A and B are shown apart, each in its own frame.
Chain A
Amino acid sequence: MSQSAQKPEFIGFGLGLRPTHYPEILDHDPSVDWFEVISENYMVPGGQPLQILERIRARYPIVMHGVSLSIASTAALNMDYLANLKGLAERFEPRWISDHLCWTGVHGVNLHDLLPIPYTQEALDHVSDRVHQVQDYLGRPLTLENVSSYVSFGRSEMLEWEFIAELTRRTGCWLLFDVNNVYVSAFNHEYDPKQFIDGIPADRVLQFHVAGHSHMDTHIIDTHDAPVCDDVWDLYRYALKRFGPVSTIIERDDEIPPLADLIDELDVARKIAADTLSKSKTAVNA
């Protein structure tokens, strides 16, 4: 997969699609530019989930966001999973397909969590190979998201953003830049989140996630159960200045409020982006 694959166009401000909001979306066509759908939720044989997704897809662009690719795992790639993913992509034609830069288990076990990796040459070689394999299989570039992490490995040989930058250089993958995750990981591992942003190749960033988290005093946990906090909005401003207009969603997985509340929060993102980009020269790259 070459780096020359054309960058998908900016699609505006979206939300993570959650089943509790299905009726409202179908009945009222809310003003959301696009929806990010959890791929695994639609890896089912049939019934309503797939029919509803079809109806929503007819009205909105979608992006498929997975949690089980386990790209950094040393276990063999799960070809059944990839076949499912490819089939789903053929059916729903997402603008792009994303998953996380992490692993979820080895020896046939799935921990259903986004587990951390050591930032070593060995891991970089391994993950790069896997990204190539997956991209070849899917016939399109992959988009990878930086995760929140709580531990770091003594053996790491580089910083997280150096690892990510080199991975995109080697594989041509796109980045789903989770602003909240950078905030969380920066606090947990005691670095400046702006340094992270400065270290990421701006032209590879395809999407932003913003979300809420839980502060535990000595560390922060990425819980997606609260509104986006001011610090994360500040970091979003900083990221916008560096990366320019990037398709954005708000992620909410727990304590999910009515859709109207999320749309209000999304309007905050729109406004911040409009204000920031009007003051910034990067906007001309739109």
Chain B
Amino acid sequence: MKDLASLQEEFQRAVIDGDDAVLAELVDTSKENRAVLLNVYRNAYTERLVEFLSNDYEKLYAYLGEEQFGQMAHGFITANPSATSNARWFGVRLPEFLRETEPYRTLPELGDLAALERALNDVFDAPDAPVLDLADLTVVPADGWPRLTFAPHPATRRLDHPTNATDIWKALHNEEAPPETKILGETRQVIVYRSGGMASFRPLPSDEAMMWDEAAKGVRFSVLCEMLSIYGGEENAAGRAAQHLQRWISSGLLTRFELES
């Protein structure tokens, strides 16, 4: 007789791959055939995983509709059996799946929409960390400002969308008909963040996005101002940089500053 490990292996294959070998281990009841009873596990497996995905990607679900979402989800489940002990992380690779897999990769709004939903989920329960306050900066002497660097709060994500997926998201959020997909001439740069405990996002003007990306790498404030002046014109570059910085701070995007020597 095979041991418990082989039996579990066989049962798992029955559920995931539809293999019937384990039926030899199971018994019929007077009311029902064992194959029908085994199907309870098979059906529950897929149903549950599809449900995880539709909970985590509810806009994508609304956008595709039950049937198409179900089809897509089955493809994902077959390609990515769950390797996590927590349902929360089961669907994290869905954006990549949509960007890599036919026929979804030819519909780039799907990957963008999924990436946005994933980022919103991720910032929602990202690690807690202090939020930098404007008042914290009062200790910085005026001649220290050029040497300031900033650390993004862990509950932030930066996305680049070739499509108008954020418009689609908003329409679905308001339960309106989504606009037609557009491939944008210029990539839409989006910041996703946590505010008051809830996940939010906003598109960034390109100069602000550039400054954010550089600031997130630890580039000091003086260099950020220089970059802005090259990027968006010399006029009042430092003032524009200060404005962006102020907005980040009021949205809770930063966790701390450092004063480099």
Interface residues in chain A, defined as those with a beta carbon under 8 Å from any beta carbon in chain B = 40-41, 43-51, 68, 70, 73-74, 78, 80-81, 103, 105-113, 115, 117-118, 120, 122-123, 126, 150-155, 188-190, 218-219, 221
User: Once bound together, how far apart are the Cα atoms of A81 and B29, in whole Å?
Assistant: 37
Residues from chain B with a CB closer than 8 A to the CB of A118 are: 4, 7, 25
Instruction: Determine the interface band of chain B, counting residues with CB < 8 A from chain A.
Output: 35 or more
Q: Is there an interface contact between A113 and B31, defined as CB atoms closer than 8 Å?
A: no
B69 within 8 A of A: no
User: Once bound together, how far apart are the Cα atoms of A5 and B11, in whole Å?
Assistant: 36
Interface residues in chain B, defined as those with a beta carbon under 8 Å from any beta carbon in chain A = 1, 3-5, 7-9, 11-12, 15-16, 25-27, 29-32, 34, 36-38, 40-41, 44-45, 48-49, 52, 81-88, 90, 123-129, 154-155, 194, 197-198
User: Once bound together, how far apart are the Cα atoms of A46 and B255, in whole Å?
Assistant: 15
Residues from chain B with a CB closer than 8 A to the CB of A50 are: 125, 128
User: Once bound together, how far apart are the Cα atoms of A98 and B5, in whole Å?
Assistant: 24
Q: Is there an interface contact between A43 and B32, defined as CB atoms closer than 8 Å?
A: no
Residue of A nearest to B3 (CB): A122
Residues from chain B with a CB closer than 8 A to the CB of A105 are: 12, 82
Residues from chain A with a CB closer than 8 A to the CB of B90 are: 112
Residues from chain A with a CB closer than 8 A to the CB of B127 are: 45-46
Partner of B37, one of A73, A81, A150: A150
Q: Is there an interface contact between B25 and A154, defined as CB atoms closer than 8 Å?
A: yes
Q: Is there an interface contact between A47 and B4, defined as CB atoms closer than 8 Å?
A: no
Q: Is there an interface contact between A68 and B86, defined as CB atoms closer than 8 Å?
A: yes
Residues from chain A with a CB closer than 8 A to the CB of B40 are: 150-151, 219, 221
Pick from A103, A111, A115 the residue with the most CB of B within 10 Å: A111
- Give min CB distance, A77 to chain B, whole Å: 11
Residues from chain A with a CB closer than 8 A to the CB of B11 are: 115
Residue of A nearest to B23 (CB): A151
User: Once bound together, how far apart are the Cα atoms of A2 and B37, in whole Å?
Assistant: 38
Residues from chain A with a CB closer than 8 A to the CB of B7 are: 118, 153, 155
User: Once bound together, how far apart are the Cα atoms of A118 and B34, in whole Å?
Assistant: 15
Pick from A68, A115, A151, A188 the residue with the most CB of B within 10 Å: A151
Q: Is there an interface contact between B29 and A190, defined as CB atoms closer than 8 Å?
A: yes
- Give min CB distance, B124 to chain A, whole Å: 5
User: Once bound together, how far apart are the Cα atoms of A189 and B28, in whole Å?
Assistant: 9
Q: Is there an interface contact between A218 and B8, defined as CB atoms closer than 8 Å?
A: no
The DSSP consensus for interface residues of chain A is: loop
Partner of A45, one of B4, B45, B48, B125: B125
Residue of B nearest to A51 (CB): B197
Q: Is there an interface contact between B25 and A113, defined as CB atoms closer than 8 Å?
A: no
Residue of B nearest to A80 (CB): B85
Q: Is there an interface contact between A111 and B82, defined as CB atoms closer than 8 Å?
A: yes
25 contacts between A and B (CB under 8 A): A45-B128, A45-B154, A46-B125, A46-B129, A47-B128, A47-B194, A47-B197, A48-B124, A50-B125, A73-B8, A74-B4, A74-B5, A106-B12, A109-B16, A111-B82, A112-B45, A112-B52, A113-B44, A118-B25, A150-B38, A152-B26, A189-B29, A218-B32, A219-B31, A219-B32
User: Once bound together, how far apart are the Cα atoms of A73 and B81, in whole Å?
Assistant: 17
Residue of B nearest to A153 (CB): B25
Q: Is there an interface contact between B26 and A43, defined as CB atoms closer than 8 Å?
A: no
Pick from B9, B26, B34 the residue with the most CB of A within 10 Å: B26
Residues from chain B with a CB closer than 8 A to the CB of A155 are: 1, 7, 25
User: Once bound together, how far apart are the Cα atoms of A112 and B146, in whole Å?
Assistant: 52
A44-B88, A110-B82, A153-B25 given; 5 more Cβ-contact pairs under 8 Å: A47-B155, A47-B194, A47-B197, A153-B7, A218-B29
Residues from chain B with a CB closer than 8 A to the CB of A106 are: 5, 8-9, 12
Residue of A nearest to B194 (CB): A47
Residue of A nearest to B14 (CB): A151
Q: Is there an interface contact between A153 and B26, defined as CB atoms closer than 8 Å?
A: yes
Q: Is there an interface contact between B37 and A40, defined as CB atoms closer than 8 Å?
A: no
